[in-house]
């Protein structure tokens, strides 16, 4: 059973890495395209669905990938069961908290709050 979970995590880590490639390239291209733009122009771009949706996807996939990677490091290098359990819980909490804060920030930008 544990083997299936490990294989599934391995597959998800690779799929999330593949998903990050186009999202990161898009983000880099948008940064390059908006270089020298003023604050107003950047905010006008950020409130459009063309920017908010891919940014939300980038944030979600990046944090999911981060969570899987940090989990792998914890499982490989933390050898005390109690410490490992605490570290895994902290990793999940941090990932969810960052996701909620990031999505809330994007929603605030998109819906003008």
Average pLDDT over residues 46-72: 94
| Whether the predicted pLDDT of 43 surpasses 90 | no
Residue 113 is predicted with a pLDDT of 57
Model pTM greater than 0.75? Answer: yes
Domains of the chain as residue ranges with CATH: 2-111 (1.20.1300.10)
Q: Which residue has the tokens 């809330």?
A: 104
pLDDT mean across residues, the chain: 93
Euclidean distance between CA atoms 14 and 38, whole angstroms: 37
pLDDT, tens digit, 9 for 90 and up, residues 12-33 = 999 999 999 999 999 999 999 9
With 0-12 / 13-18 / 19 or more C-beta atoms within 10 angstroms meaning exposed / middle / buried, residue 55 is buried
């Amino acid at each position: 059973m544990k083997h299936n979970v490990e294989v599934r995590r391995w597959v998800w880590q690779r799929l999330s890495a593949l998903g990050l490639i186009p999202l990161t390239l898009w983000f880099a291209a948008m940064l390059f395209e908006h270089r020298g733009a003023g604050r107003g122009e950047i905010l006008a771009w950020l409130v459009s669905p063309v920017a908010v949706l891919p940014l939300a996807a980038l944030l979600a996939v990046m944090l999911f990938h981060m969570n899987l990677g940090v989990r792998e490091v914890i499982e490989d290098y933390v050898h005390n069961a109690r410490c490992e359990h605490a570290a895994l819980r902290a990793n999940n909490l941090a990932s969810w908290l960052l996701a909620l804060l990031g999505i809330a920030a994007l929603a605030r930008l998109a819906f003008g709050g």
